Structure 1
């Protein structure tokens, strides 16, 4: 990695999270916790996404994230899954 390259994470949005963010995915700087990333995303996209993030489930590299305070590694993929309706 060159000194001018920033380590990043990929955030992928699904269903209502995609609609609230206005995109299907974006990059965020690595090294933050899931709580920190959620706060950054709420600042970027506003209250509509913030509301979704408060009730969403998160997968980190395909696994449910239970500790929202641990810093996430560079290159990880975070899936934002809002609650789904259905029977």
Structure 2
């Protein structure tokens, strides 16, 4: 299972800081997260960047394995 870490608005929408999900790809992960956390989470997820082991995943075909860590990062403002 991959470890999924939620930050800011994504953590708020999921009501959790982390989850363990058995997904085979980023697209599969998106579908499972939407199923678990609902429409509001899906809306926020659409604006988020996903980092797989620290590298931005720009494609839903990126493969995931059991030891991966995926960070769900909403856009941040400020500075």
- Normalising by structure 2, report the TM-score: 0.92
By how many angstroms is 1:83 displaced?
Answer: 1.0
The correspondence for 2:11, drawn from 13, 18, 34, is 18
Aligned to 2:36: 44
Structure with bigger gyration radius: 1
Instruction: Structure 2: give runs of 5+ residues left out of the alignment.
Output: none
Aligned to 1:3: none
1:33 and 1:77 mapped to 2: Cα distance? 12
Instruction: Structure 1: give runs of 5+ residues left out of the alignment.
Output: 1-7
For residues 10-41 of structure 1, the C-alpha deviation after alignment (integer angstroms, 9 at most, x for no partner) is 000000000000000000014x2111101111
Aligned to 1:59: 51
2:76 and 2:8 mapped to 1: Cα distance? 8
For residues 31-68 of structure 1, the C-alpha deviation after alignment (integer angstroms, 9 at most, x for no partner) is x2111101111110111110111110010011111222
1:20 and 1:67 mapped to 2: Cα distance? 23
Aligned residues: 79
Aligned to 1:4: none
